[in-house]
Amino acid sequence: MNISPLDRIKEAWHELYPGTESNNKLELLLNELETARISNHFGLQPEGWYKEAVVYSLYVDFFAGTFDGLVGKLDHLKELGATCIWLLPILDSPMRDAGFDIRDYRNIRADLLGLPADTTAEVKQQAFRNFLGEAHARNLKVIFDIAMNHTSEEHPWFVESRKGPENPYRNYYIWNKDTNKYKETRLLFKGMCPSNWEKSGDWYFFHRFFEFQPDLNYKNPDVLIEISRILLFWLSQGLDGFRADAIPYIWKEDGTDCENLPQTHTIIKIFRAVLDHVRPNTLLLAEACQPPQEVVKYFGNGDECHAGYHFPLMPMIFKSMAIEDATPVLGVLDPSVTPGIAPENQWFMFLRLHDELTLEMVTPEDRAIIHGHYCKDKRWDFRVGEGISARLAELLDRDPRKIGLAYSIMLTLPGTPIIYYGDEFARLNDEDFYARFKIETGKDDTRYFVRGPMDWKKTATELEDPGSLTSVVNSSLRKQLSIRGQWPVFGRGDNHWATLEVSPREGHEKPVLAYFRSMPGQRVLVLNNLSGREITIKAIDDNNTEFVNLFNGKLVETPFTIAPYGYLWLEA
């Protein structure tokens, strides 16, 4: 961008808040930014570091108990091949929505630090800085979630807001005398929340998620300044990036569906400029469960998010594996569905996360196929057929071949891969944790099947058995990650679909998902056999007949075979 970050902020600010009455607030923000820039001693980050990253997503308490415990696991993550840790919610919270209901944006939960509840914020922040230092010493980046759309109802702003229309914090949230506003807004938690409005006294407040998560009101410039200050605070602690949670819903306008509105993009431009001014190349990651054509808009012209999740690709990987045909993946990555993105931008890829296998972004026909194939227990159903709550190993029949194949696809298609904690050990659904949560909260949130604490003693025992599911999956994934780490082409290279002559082939199906990844000096052919039968590769469209297997360095010549649910990464 040729325009300075501060000028970008000024331009965006006047779009949101025209008129002179907000100018003093703008000047206040600009002055605070300059102070933050001068005092920040961490320096700019490497350009595009997130493009070659392997992200490991974890809950501190479930994975390691405390941050001290997590420090003891950093070498495990490094050896696995992770280069970036995504900390699932760690900020102070009543924990009614796994920490996405934030009570204090600057305060880390004391239990995660192994400290008493009454420990001062500064002591907790120093403990977190110590953790960041340990991670950075191992060249591990650290990012975490900032819920920008809503807070907990226990946040001090909302506690004040609830006191009445005259309270100065009333306008931090969206209140109305009735529910006749934003009527076109869909229910995100269908089956769990009957309305986007919750009554409090004689008034109603608006929420997109649970009723205890009131939405912030960005029409009030004070809210935007407060969230900007929170970004500045965590930059000053040394954080490497932010996962911007639920950003499509930030701005509301009556008469619209309150999603992806132009003003939302204007707000994101301000947040990006805040980061660019104080510590360039700090990652801003869009959590926008939207079609790719909408997600790419959150990249802007290099002035919004650096990266975004490719939500529709994940279910198409599962569909391709279910029907043993590459067509669904080819279709969702076609430029008509997934537009091209600028070199500095990146898709983030995942097989499983802390949430359900979402089917929100697929057609009803695809939803029926995927849900019908993978929802093998009716208790796994989430949001009345719009998702499936299950661990990767459960979805893939506890079959190490299928799990290895799924990872091969995720680790080699264009994008930055995310590994969800425990999946490297083929962790299964946590029945006890789900049941306990249901009893304690009274909510049937099936996503808790895929959460819960690691049993490291059991895991260690299983790893000692080379034939166990845990050991086979872990060994396979480590090999894949080791190769990926040696070949930057997987993070930065172009993608070109390969045309194959294969046997056997039935009808018009494409049993092998095949593609070239290329950049100057590197070219790799990836072959993923989606079928449960051996496939012979008789010819490849570029007439190349000799390749080198990246896993063992051996020469591979056509024709050659791929085992059922097998994969090959070949230097071309």
Catalytic annotation, pick one of 153, 287, 325, 366: 287
**Buried/exposed code over 364-401 (b: 16+ C-beta within 10 A; e: otherwise):** eebbebbbeebbeeebbbbbebbbbbbbbbbbbeeebb
Assess contact for 414 and 495: CB atoms under 8 A: yes
| Strand ranges across the sheet with 175-176 | 175-176, 203-206, 197-200
List, in sequence order, the alpha helices (H) in 96-207: 121-137, 156-161
Mark whether 154 is an active-site residue. Answer: no
Mark whether 118 is an active-site residue. Answer: no
The residue to which tokens 């479930």 are assigned: 62
Dist. CA 267–CA 265, nearest whole Å: 5
Dist. CA 395–CA 382, nearest whole Å: 14
What is the CB-side half-sphere exposure of residue 50 using CA atoms within 13 A? Answer: 29
**Buried/exposed code over 171-202 (b: 16+ C-beta within 10 A; e: otherwise):** ebbbbeeeeebbeebeebbeebbeebbbeeee
Dist. CA 38–CA 451, nearest whole Å: 41
Q: What are phi and psi of 560, to 5 degrees?
A: -145, 170
Catalytic annotation, pick one of 52, 245, 324, 430: 245
Dist. CA 263–CA 217, nearest whole Å: 12
**Considering only CA atoms, which of 453, 420, 421 is closest in space to residue 434?**
453
Dist. CA 39–CA 267, nearest whole Å: 25
Dist. CA 249–CA 148, nearest whole Å: 9
CA-based radius of gyration for the chain: 24
Element (H, E) at 34: helix 23-39
Assess contact for 210 and 152: CB atoms under 8 A: no
Residue 422 one-letter amino acid: G
SS3 104: strand
DSSP string, 450-486: G-S---HHHHHHHHTSTTSHHHHHHHHHHHHHHHHHH
Dist. CA 427–CA 345, nearest whole Å: 32
SS3 63: helix
Please list the helix, strand and coil fractions of the chain in percent, rounded to the nearest 5, in that order.
40, 20, 40
Catalytic residues, by residue number, are: 245, 287
